[in-house]
A = this chain, B = another copy of it.
Amino acid sequence: MSDKTTLIDPLLAQVRIVLVETSHPGNIGAAARAMKTMGLSQLCLVNPKQFPCAEATVRASGADDLLARAHVSETLEQALEGCGMVYGTSARSRSIDWPTFSPWDVAQRVLHGTEDAPAEALRGEVAIVFGRENSGLDNEELELCSARVLLPTNPDFSSLNLASAVQVLAYELSTHSKRGQAEVHNHVDETYDPLATQGELQGFFAALEKYITDIDYFDPAKPKQLIRRLHRLFNRASMSRSEVQILRGIITAANKAIGK
């Protein structure tokens, strides 16, 4: 296993994406690609219209290992064998008496759990089931699900593409996974170019104020509103030391140009 591979949260390997009676093989390939970009690996196909298929491989665009390892079954029951939690997806709210979660909630429950319960992926395999392109999941299939995922869509146009729906769930799982978090933190924490110190900033502000006074842009006898606005602007930019040096360099050259 490479170092990179170990960055994927092993809990993601516990998640099955189950596609029921997919009509277009291109959608199967696109779903595999969506999964792999987000670190998911278990694809289950229930009675696909056409599989394997060249179009699926093309649309997988490098995620063909997921297609090769895909588990194909005749029925949804078979695809769910051994699973703990099963989520059925829907783009519209169809039932009132069913626990319904957002994709964010699902990722949270699967990978982190709730106040009352540990991560679902620690307690068994989790399935997320996606229905047919045109008609979704039927009632019998929904009965096999423990809960519903409701994808938030435009009430005037809820026709989410199948692979896009997979993408949204996979994305939420990825951002809730441990790798996702580690990456974001690393990114924020790494400081290659050190930030300017307050002293360096004050030195820059003083030089700027003196220069704009010298060129009669600013009158120090008048209120300091302009100076405050400049401070606010440059403070907001969180400048690095080297950026402050560039701006100091410009002011030095500008002073030379006016003989100061």
Contacts and interface: CB of A to CB of B under 8 A. Distances in A.
Interface string A234-247: 10111110110010
Contact of A258 (B102, B154, B229, B257): B257
A97 B243 CA distance: 11
A14 interface: no
Contact of A175 (B93, B152, B164): B152
A173 to B, nearest CB: 10
A130 to B, nearest CB: 14
A230 B249 CA distance: 12
Contact of A253 (B184, B217, B249): B217
Interface of A: 2, 4-5, 7-8, 30, 33-34, 36-39, 61-63, 91, 93, 96-97, 100, 102-104, 116, 150, 152-161, 163-164, 167-168, 171, 174-175, 179-180, 183-184, 187, 190, 192-193, 212, 214-217, 226, 229-230, 233-234, 236-240, 242-243, 246, 249-250, 253-254, 256-258
Contact of A153 (B103, B157, B164, B174): B174
Contacts of A8: 154-156
B30 A161 contact: yes
Nearest to A153: B37
A243 B217 contact: no
Given A164-B37, A164-B164, A237-B236, A192 B154 contact: no
